[in-house]
A = this chain, B = another copy of it.
């Protein structure tokens, strides 16, 4: 039973960290009431102390290694990001009995298992609500509120940068490059936008979400990942023509294979989504996550996925929880990975495709196309021809089929003499009929 103040070491003091300092200071009285004891900032590790005039100078240090194992530190809050040196710092903190609050999705997805093991061995907490979907309470609901239910699917918009870009392409008809330039100009995209645009950021979050939802360890390398760099204005126009928009989705599914064995599929890719789907209306840099559970049905969580104050709100929520646990000498729910469900390769995952083919407008084309689908075991839901003559386009939407069969079908079609080109090939999610 702790009765004195709890001492917090903060690693990193950038956009998020400075907000953590601000909230810890401004809300000190309220936080103490909620925890039962006050929180005190024991030290703030930064690279260049001179740049942090808003932090009392005696708290600043460049020696993060010493800070995380100091005897007068109870809880370590990490908002630096990246894999090393953060992994070593957090392991040192856990080994010396500090509870850890982290916003580090890359590290959690890359090597969460090692951190969880260290926390369990030391009997301390490892919380990371801020690592996924910023301020949106999502990990705690998955880990605790739905702990008595069976989650079957999580579909989320978890990257604000790509959602801004796709929202602009949808609203203005702009191409990818133009929309990316706008995102960069407005500060929504970084100078090197690869982590966002190529889906790495979303894939790390998908790994974390799938792990919590399915009680199975999922690493970043288990996640099938496609970015939005190849989404064209033509794709968006095709989506619009069928009442859809395009979103970069993180999709985690639990599926029964062959009526018995269960497996898990985790993937990040752009997909067409009907405008009637609750995720379709999530615009700009907002995040939203749709969760389906057997008993609870469909749930949605919506809010700001990034930014200093929203992310700091999630960090502080974890900090209060971890502090309460220390006050009562207890530990929150740890990692739950008992299920150990196998990961399904992308080729085995069942998806649906939208395919627009520029074709020669001649008799027999439709029959030949339909034949290619049938031979590869892919069932067509709708097919329609747009335009005539040189401008003829065949638009096909399939039923759900093995992703490998769909990809093979597209390759087969592209090789057919009357197919000029595949103008748009994209997966479709969230439509009623499977």
Instruction: Point out residues on A near B: beta carbons under 8 Å.
Output: 19, 23, 27, 30-31, 33-34, 129, 135-137, 140-141, 144-150, 215, 278, 281, 293-304, 307, 309-310, 312-321, 324-325, 328-331, 333, 336, 338-339
Contacts and interface: CB of A to CB of B under 8 A. Distances in A.
Nearest to A319: B148
A297 B309 CA distance: 8
Contacts of A296: 135, 303-304, 309-310, 313-314
Contacts of A319: 148
Nearest to A135: B296
Contacts of A336: 33-34
A295 B320 contact: no
A297 to B, nearest CB: 5
9 contacts: A23-B148, A33-B215, A33-B339, A135-B297, A148-B315, A278-B302, A296-B304, A297-B307, A321-B333
B299 A137 contact: yes
Contact of A299 (B147, B281, B302, B312): B302
Q: Which 7 A-B pairs have the closest CB atoms?
A: A148-B316, A330-B330, A137-B145, A137-B141, A135-B296, A295-B313, A296-B313
A71 B239 CA distance: 62
Contact of A310 (B147, B297, B302, B339): B297
A147 B23 contact: no
A325 B144 CA distance: 12
Nearest to A301: B301
A423 to B, nearest CB: 32
Contacts of A309: 294-297
A330 B333 contact: no
Contacts of A278: 302
A200 to B, nearest CB: 25
A154 to B, nearest CB: 13
A303 B314 contact: no
Most chain B CB neighbours (cut-off 10 Å) among A33, A137, A316: A137
Contact of A147 (B34, B144, B301, B339): B34
B299 A300 contact: no
Most buried by B among A27, A299, A304: A299
A304 B310 contact: no
Nearest to A147: B320
A129 B299 CA distance: 15
B300 A304 contact: no
B313 A304 contact: no
A307 B215 CA distance: 26
A208 to B, nearest CB: 16
Contacts of A315: 148
Contacts of A146: 137, 313, 317
Contacts of A303: 296-300
B295 A150 contact: no
A34 B215 contact: yes
A336 B325 CA distance: 15
B145 A140 contact: yes
B140 A23 contact: no
